[in-house]
Amino acid sequence: MTPKKAQASSTHGGTHKLWGGRFAGGPHPALEAVNRSITVDFRLWPFDIQLSKSWARALAKAGVFTGAECEAVRAGLDTVAARLAGGEQPIPSDEDVHTIIDRLLHEAAGDPASRLHTGRSRNDQVATATRLWTRDAIARVDEHITALQRAIIAQAEHLQDAIMPAYTHMQRAQPVSGAHWMLNHFWPLVRDRERLAAAHRSAGVMPLGSGAIAGSAFPIDRELLRTELGFERISANSIDAVGDRDFIADTLYAITMLGMHLSRIAEDLILYGSSEFGFVRYGDSFSTGSSMMPQKRNPDALELARGSGARMLGDLVGLLATIKGLPSGYNKDLQEDKRSLFDAVDGMLLLLPAVAGSLETLTFNRDKMAAACTSSMMATDLADYLVRKHVSFREAHGAVGALVREAEEKGIEMTELPSESFVNAHHAFESDVMHELRPRTSLSHRDIAGGTGTKAVAAQIQQAKAAVG
Ligand code: ARG
């Protein structure tokens, strides 16, 4: 019963392993190299310490530790945390984050440290630590989204009296309030936050107590663990619990969608900042220059935001490909989960402040925005004008189409057409038609909820403010 090979669980010959007792020799360096995950999972340490401290308490309640041993291990874990926070680095034999913590705990607490791993496995441990990390990360991403939402609202408030074209098929379509365009980027972020909240809930199931696959053989109070660690539920099936990475897929999907939305904000601003549009100018602190062309003012942060969705999508697809077809329970393939998760979260935490900053420091050129609202964009309003005079929409559409063609052929704006042209196009046109050709009149017809009318947009701003709290 007594293990002769002490290196199976304790420091020996300068190395410290959590396994190895059943092998005659050590692992081949090529195996060690491919198996080692500490460069990726090291950042889990605060959560691994946290769950280990709770585990020590559960073991004491189960009669595995005396009260004194439990306290010694918990104090030892605090010492380990202090060393890691102070910059303690892994040594080559530290296979993963659990190994380095175990090694340092043996140094800090001595013998009782050898019993901390009773009834648990790195399988339930890593799943638990990754869930704790994910919940914390989601909260951080959420804060940054809120900051971006606030920046959007602030710009929208400035743009309430600005008027600009809205585009369909990237062709000038209809005039809208600048605030309405700005806020069109607000609501997708509300949905992103809902998706992240759902991922947070999905990560809220605690696997600890599942052991390697069949459940712990000691009377562990999982409910105690759950409340101490802040989980919402405990897993119902230990086989599922150690192999479930749905919460990572959920998180990556939410982040990918967020990346898509940032890419769309970025693309609008990149287009609008071009000389051809000239609607916005990037602030100095969020512009980059060119090594060759002295005149350049480049929106690098926005271009990176436009491109980033691709990387996050790659992380999501990579994870899904890893999970697909895995047999039940824990498989080492799952070690790759954290690479995707951390990459996507790290990328997003860099992007969000850069997009918010780019947005906050923009200046809008209202004159250019207004000048782009050419008269043909009021064609729908002219048709609506005829409809209000009891002309059918089909007939009105045809009459206005003829006016648009005439102005185009003459190379003038519809506002420059003589009144005869209007009457020729349709007898229901009267002198008040010129009023309909003003972009602001177009807006004034659209005070419908969700529309671009001044009152509707003011209400939308209030709704947006309420959504960020
Ligand atoms: N480093 C591993 C991972 O990230 C920890 C779990 C290892 N479990 C095992 N049975 N080898 O997945």
pLDDT in tens, 183-218: 999 999 999 999 999 999 999 999 999 999 999 999
Ligand 1 midpoint to CA 28 (Å): 18
Q: Whose CA is nearest to atom 4 of ligand 1?
A: 335
Sequence-distant (≥ 6) Cβ neighbours of residue 358 within 8 angstroms: 269, 282, 283, 286, 299, 301, 302, 305
Q: Which of 126, 132, 248, 334 for a ligand 1 pocket mutation test, highest count of atoms within 8 Å of Cβ?
A: 126
Q: Which residues line ligand 1 (CB under 6 A)?
A: 37, 41, 96, 122-123, 126, 330, 334-335
Write out pLDDT tens, residues 328-337.
999 999 999 9
**According to the model, what pLDDT value does residue 291 have?**
80
**How much is the average pLDDT of 257-270?**
97
Placement of tokens 């339930």 in the chain: 124
Mean pLDDT of 90-117: 95
Whole-model pTM over 0.85: yes
Catalytic option among 121, 238, 285, 290: 290
- Is 106 noted as a catalytic residue in this protein? no
Residue 16 C-alpha to ligand 1 middle, in angstroms? 16
Query: What tokens appear for 6 in the block?
Result: 């002490």
Q: Ligand 1 centroid vs 96 CA: distance in angstroms?
A: 8
Pairwise CA distance, residues 231 & 202, whole Å: 10
b/e map 47-63, b = 16+ CB within 10 Å: bbbbbbbbbbbbbbbbe
Residue nearest (by alpha carbon) to ligand 1 atom 2: 335
Active site residue 328: no
Greater pLDDT, 325 or 291 = 325
Cβ–Cβ < 8 Å for 349, 140: yes
Please, what is the angle between helix 97-109 and helix 45-61, to 10°? 60
What was the pLDDT predicted at 14?
55
- The model's pLDDT over 370-402, given as tens digits with 9 standing for 90+, comes to 999 999 999 999 999 999 999 999 999 999 999
Q: Sorting pLDDT into bands at 50, 70 and 90, what band is 2?
A: very low
What percentage of the chain carries pLDDT values higher than 90?
90
Q: Compute φ and ψ for 64, nearest 5 degrees.
A: -80, -40
Rounded to whole angstroms, how far apart are CA atoms 281 and 362?
Answer: 6
Active-site position among 169, 285, 291, 390: 169
Mean pLDDT, all residues of the chain:
94
Ligand 1: centre distance to CA 177 (Å): 54
- φ, ψ at 427 (rounded to 5°): -65, -15
Q: Which amino acid is at 96?
A: D
Q: What percentage of the chain has pLDDT greater than the value 70? A: 97
Q: Candidates 44, 99, 335, 337: which one to mutate for ligand 1, based on the most atoms within 8 Å of Cβ?
A: 335
Q: In order of start, what are the domains of the chain with their CATH numbers? A: 29-118 (1.10.275.10), 123-370 (1.20.200.10), 373-468 (1.10.40.30)
In sequence order, what are the residues at sequence separation of 6 or more whose Cβ sits closer than 8 angstroms to the Cβ of residue 265?
A: 185, 302, 305, 355, 359
Between strands 205-206 and 233-234, the pairing is: parallel
Position 3 pLDDT exceeds 70: no
Looking at residue 52, what is its pLDDT? 98
Dump pLDDT digits (tens) for 12-71. 445 688 888 888 788 899 999 999 999 999 999 999 999 999 999 999 999 999 999 999
| Res 425 pLDDT > 70 | yes
Site to probe by mutation for ligand 1, drawn from 38, 40, 122, 330 as the one with most ligand atoms within 8 Å of Cβ, is 122
123 CA distance to ligand 1 middle (Å):
6
